[in-house]
A and B are shown apart, each in its own frame.
Chain A
């Protein structure tokens, strides 16, 4: 796929997500919330680990939109968890 740098980025993310499914399944802890959060953490780690120091190629600038959508999803997961912990009747 594409150039070597993009290919490295794509493979890193694919391995992380598939590995997450395998590990969480083996630990019998697979839930969609946990999978989403661990995948988002992996995405942010891969973005940071592959980032050049001095330049930001154009394709990397586009990644911020994916990060933004991921953070919105993360906010939704957190709010849902908080609401499930709070005693009924508060909201």
Chain B
């Protein structure tokens, strides 16, 4: 049968791929194609470049070379599963899929295989409860921190009172976009603002009706939970209806150069959250230039350095490397296993001194992970786009989010998961 021939060829091909062991393997489930590629590329480049730097400058982590296996997911969950299965046999230490949909798929698999999952600023928010989600981490900040941070920012600019204000949420109609809604609803009860929900369907190029509604209802503030092509489209639509940009605030996934640049000068003043530094004014970039770029080793086209998402990819890689170092320190071996990596992540502590030592002073908040808290401190800052200079400017400090509201929601949601999947709450 035809199918048998195909299977035979496929079998031969997979068997021919040589398995590699000795190295520390960090798979990069990236997406350089499809409607989310504009955001997927810089993250993947930053992620890989940092590992290249570690290999070239330090000779790997604790003497073990790092190997990055890239696998294209196209932001598609089925391909994500295939990527997970094809890379886990190579000794993958930690997965960072950069997709909430794929994260949901991988959470049970990661628990079963004991391979940690780091979903930095995305994924399932209640994974912050490490008692239930043993192998999943989402430090340093999660969606609900973001949802609260936006509201806090509004409170700040309105002298602490946003009663009766109207707030629209334009969101990607998927698990990703729906995550903040529950927090927002709680916050709207607490602070007395009105919430309008405007879902945008995948991939997000069609938003005319949503913005027509905004034009008609004139909400005081518009917030956005978008990704990929949806971001630029929304900002363009906002510019078209002359919505005041400084009242338009995106989450950290809606605040990269690729989102605002297509709109040009009209995007000036658009705000977005962030949980790490922007720009390339860090000593680390000198090392990157010396060891990676000048060697002609930059990943991809090499034109993404210093952008928000490139920095985020780099930050993700940095946290992974520090966790690996921690794991080596705890277990006294250099060739760590995924389970040991998990222990390293749970014991991770990022201090100001450490960041300065790594060449990233003030790049992110300092925090400490523990078994009870896999979510970090949840600090976020607000950035504003300066179209003339072509740069994001950080306009606030890293500030706390409303943990009273979020903590209760995390408890509730993780308890629901624990019940659904028969997980015992425990801290080892």
A binds B: no
Chain A interface (Cβ < 8 Å from any Cβ of B): none
Chain B interface (Cβ < 8 Å from any Cβ of A): none
